[in-house]
Amino acid sequence: MKPVECEFESEVLAATLQSRWPERVDADLRAHVVTCAICSDVVAIGGAFDNARERMRTSVTLPDSGRVWWLAQLRARREAAEAAGRPITAAQVIAFACAVGLLGACFGATSKWFQSALGWVGSSVAGVDMKAVLPSAAALVAGHGVLLIAAAAVLFVVPTAVYLALGRE
């Protein structure tokens, strides 16, 4: 099995990072690097990383630590306020739904018009002959199958697309 690490790797890397390579290192180490694929790779990339790190660290202007702390405080407070408000909003929604349900139940129990309409719908449904309806429904599906599948796909795809788009926002 091919070795993936070498015992001299850290020594070679240190020499590279401390700009001692190749003049100020032992001749034995130099000879080893020539024959060791791992150490020769370390020499090849070590200096480049060192230069890149120094350059990147010195070229950037970072925000002040006090400003980062202050922004973090503000954001934590805002998120805490939102989190505290969330159960209240949920309770308000539930209370509103209960009130609407109660109102609907009172209306249904007391309105003669609603009860007669409900009775008419019930008798209409009971009067439908399912054996007669099924073949015509099957014929409709067979005749307009592609259209129905497309409509079903749109009904599924559009809400999904809207959800994904809003989710990414």
Partner 1 sequence: MTFTDVSRAETLDDASAAFVMDEDAFRAFYERTARGVWAYLARVTGDRQLADDLLQETFYRFLRAAATHDSEAHRRNSLYRIATNLARDARRRSLIRAPFSVSCDDIERVPSSEHGGAAERMADFTRAMSHLKPRERAMLWLAYAEGASHREIADVLGLRPGSLKPMLFRARRRLAALLGRAPDGGKR
Please report whether residue 4 would count as binding partner 1 according to CB under 8 A.
yes
Q: Report the 10 Å Cβ neighbour count for 46.
A: 19
Residue 51 is a binding residue for partner 1 (CB under 8 A): yes
Q: Is 80 in the site for partner 1 (CB under 8 A)?
A: yes
Contact 46, 11 (CB under 8 A): no
Those residues whose C-beta lies under 8 Å from the C-beta of residue 17, and which sit 6 or more positions away, are 46, 47, 50
Residue 15 to residues 6, 8, 167: CA-CA distances in angstroms?
A: 15, 11, 51
Residues numbered 53-72 forming contacts with partner 1, rule: CB under 8 A: 53, 55-57, 59-60, 62-63, 65-66, 68-69, 71-72
**Binding status of residue 20 toward partner 1 by CB under 8 A:** no
Residue 166 contacts partner 1 per CB under 8 A: no
Q: Identify the CA nearest to 17 among candidates 57, 55, 49.
A: 49
Cis upstream peptide for 22 (omega within 30°): yes
> Binder to partner 1 among 45, 105, 138, 139 (CB under 8 A)?
45
Instruction: Name the site residues for partner 1 (rule: CB under 8 A).
Output: 4-5, 13, 21-22, 33-34, 37-53, 55-57, 59-60, 62-63, 65-66, 68-69, 71-73, 75-77, 79-81, 83-85, 88, 168
